[in-house]
Structure 1
Amino acid sequence: MTADFAGKTVIVTGAGKGIGRACAQIMAARGASVIAMARTQGDLDALAADCGAVGIRVDLADNAAARAAMKAAGTADFLVNCAGTNVLESVLDMTEEGYEAVMGINLRAALICAQEFARARVAAGRGGAIVNVTSIAGHRGFEGHMAYAASKAGLEGATRVMAKELGPHGIRVNAVAPTVTMTELAAAAWSEPAKKDPMMVRHPLGRFAEVDDIARTIALLLSDDAPVVTGAVLPIDGGFLAV
C-alpha cells in the first residue's frame, strides 16, 4: 500500500472490531498515526500490537467520557466515526432503554466526537476530514430496526450540516452507508439461506461487503484524491440502493 497518509493522524472510534478495526489497520498501513477508541482494552492491546495504534479505552455512551477521550486524543487530521450498536426492536416493541442505547452511541456520541474534533481543528487553523459511518438501514425500512434506522438517518442529516458549517474552515465531512458487512457477528447472523438469499438477490454484485471494502472507501474519502467531496453520503452496497 502507498503511504498516502504519512505524517497524518486519524482518530477511529469503534476501532476494536469490524469496520473500525479495518479502518485503523488500513490507515496505519498507509502511513497514518492511528488513535483507536474502543470499550475493550484487550481489543486495543491487540490493535496496538498489530499496527501500532495508540489506544484510548472509552465508553462513548458516556457524554463526558466521550469529550474527555477526544480531548486526550489531541488535534488529529482525520476522524472516522465508526462506533455503533443495535438493539433489534420493532415499532410496537421499542423500549426507552433500547432507544437510548442505540441513539446514544450511533448518533449523540458521533456528534460529540465530531464537535470536539472540529473545535480542535478550527482552533489550530487547519482543515481536515471526517467520515461518519451510517447504513443502508437509513434508506430502506428493515423490520426490527426502528431506533437504528433513526440513528443512521439522523447522522446523515447531521453530516450535511457539518459539511455546510465546517467547509469554510477547510474541513470536509462525508458519510458512507454500508450494506450488510461481513463482520464476525454479521457472518453468523446472515448464514441462514432463508435470511441471506432474499437479501443477496437485491445486490447486483452478488455479494455482501467485507470490512476492507468499507475501510478502503473511507480511506479514499479522507485522502487528497477526494479534495472537493463533502456533504456526500456514499452507499457501499453492491448496488442495493440502485435497484
Structure 2
Amino acid sequence: MAFAGKTAIVTGAGKGIGRAITQMLAARGARVFALSRSQSDLDALAHPAIVPVLVDLADTEATRAASRAALPADYLVNCAGINILEPFLDTSPDSFDQVQAINVRAPLVVSQLYARSRIAAGLGGAIVNISSISAFNGFIDHASYCASKGALDALTRVMANELGPHGIRVNTVNPGVTLTALAAEAWSDPAKSGPMLSRTPLGRFATPDNVAEAVLFLLSDAAAMVNGVSLPVDGGFQAV
C-alpha cells in the first residue's frame, strides 16, 4: 500500500498508535499533518514528510483552525483519545465530559471539515476512526471510555451512511490491548495480563504497527468497498 503524492491528517499523532500510523504513512510516501497537544512529542516525530501541528482537541475552535490549516487532505485518521479510570458509581460528569470531548466530539469536528472539503472538490476520500474493543465490552472502571468508544462506532456508521454517496468511506479500527510504551508497563503484571491473554487465541497483544497496518489498509484503494465496519485488531479476543 503506497501513498506517494497523498496527504493525510492524523490526530493523536504524538504517541502510541497515532505515532505508528503517522510514521508508517510518511514512510510510504504520504505527507502527514500530525496533530498533537504535546510539543515534545511532535519534535520527536521530525521527518521531512511530517508537518507538526500543536493543538488541544478539547478546544473546539482551536481544533477547527488546526484542521482547516491541514486541508486539503486525501485521508483522515482520528486517533486522539483519553481515558479517565473511575468506577461507574464514582464517575463524575466532568470526567465523562472530558473523555467525550476528545474521543467523540473532536472526531466529529475534524471529520466535518475534512468531508466538506472533499465534497466541495468533488472528490471521494477515506476516514478511519480509532475506536477500541471497549466499544463492545464493559470493562470495569471504564464507564466514560466505553461509552465514548461505543458512541464513536455509532457515529462512524452514520458518517458511512451519509458520506458514502459522496464517495467518502468511513470505518473504525478497534484495537484490543496494544503494547504502546505506556501500555507495556501497565500490562506487564501477569495477574492483570493473564486473563486477557488467555482469552486471546493468538496468545499475544497487538503492537502499534499491527494496528497501523489495518488503518492503512482501510485508507487504501484495496478497501474500496469497505464502508461502515468496526474492525477488531485483537488477536481474536472478540471471537471467544
The TM-score range, normalised by the shorter chain, is over 0.9
- Displacement of 1:62 after TM fit? 0.5
Q: Which residue of structure 1 lines up, in the alignment, with residue 181 of structure 2?
A: 184
Is 1:100 matched up with 2:97? yes
Q: How does 1:55-74 map to 2 (within 5 A)?
A: 55-74=52-71
Q: Is the 8 A contact 2:30 2:49 kept in 1?
A: no
SS at match of 1:54: strand
- Displacement of 1:96 after TM fit? 1.6
Q: Is the 8 A contact 2:78 2:107 kept in 1?
A: yes
Q: Return the match for 1:11 from 9, 12, 33.
A: 9
- Displacement of 1:41 after TM fit? 1.2
Q: Which residue of structure 2 lines up, in the alignment, with residue 32 of structure 1?
A: 30
Q: Return the match for 1:145 from 142, 148, 152.
A: 142
Q: Is the 8 A contact 2:160 2:170 kept in 1?
A: yes
Root-mean-square deviation (CA, aligned residues, Å) is: 0.9
Deviations for 1:161-186, whole angstroms, at most 9, x for unmatched residues? 00110011110000010000001111
Give the unaligned 5+ runs of structure 1: none
Identical pairs, percent = 59
- Displacement of 1:100 after TM fit? 1.3
User: Could you tell me which amino acid in structure 1 is paired with residue 85 of structure 2?
Assistant: L
2: CA distance, partners of 1:19 / 1:216: 10
Q: Which residue of structure 1 lines up, in the alignment, with residue 225 of structure 2?
A: 228
Q: Return the match for 1:78 from 75, 80, 97.
A: 75
Deviations for 1:100-138, whole angstroms, at most 9, x for unmatched residues? 111110011111111111011111111110000000011
SS at match of 1:208: coil
Q: Return the match for 2:167 from 147, 167, 170.
A: 170
SS at match of 2:223: coil
User: Could you tell me which amino acid in structure 2 is paired with residue 144 of structure 1?
Assistant: D
Q: Which residue of structure 2 lines up, in the alignment, with residue 22 of structure 1?
A: 20
SS at match of 1:238: coil
1: CA distance, partners of 2:109 / 2:46: 25
TM-score (norm 1): 0.97
User: Could you tell me which amino acid in structure 2 is paired with residue 213 of structure 1?
Assistant: N
User: Could you tell me which amino acid in structure 2 is paired with residue 7 of structure 1?
Assistant: G
TM-score (norm 2): 0.98
Structure 1: which 4+ aligned runs deviate by more than 3 Å? none
Instruction: Provide the aligned length of Structure 1 versus Structure 2.
Output: 240
Q: Which residue of structure 2 lines up, in the alignment, with residue 240 of structure 1?
A: 237
SS at match of 1:56: strand
Is 1:87 matched up with 2:84? yes
Deviations for 1:35-72, whole angstroms, at most 9, x for unmatched residues? 100001121122124x6300110000001111111101
Q: Return the match for 1:110 from 107, 112, 115.
A: 107
User: Could you tell me which amino acid in structure 2 is paired with residue 147 of structure 1?
Assistant: S
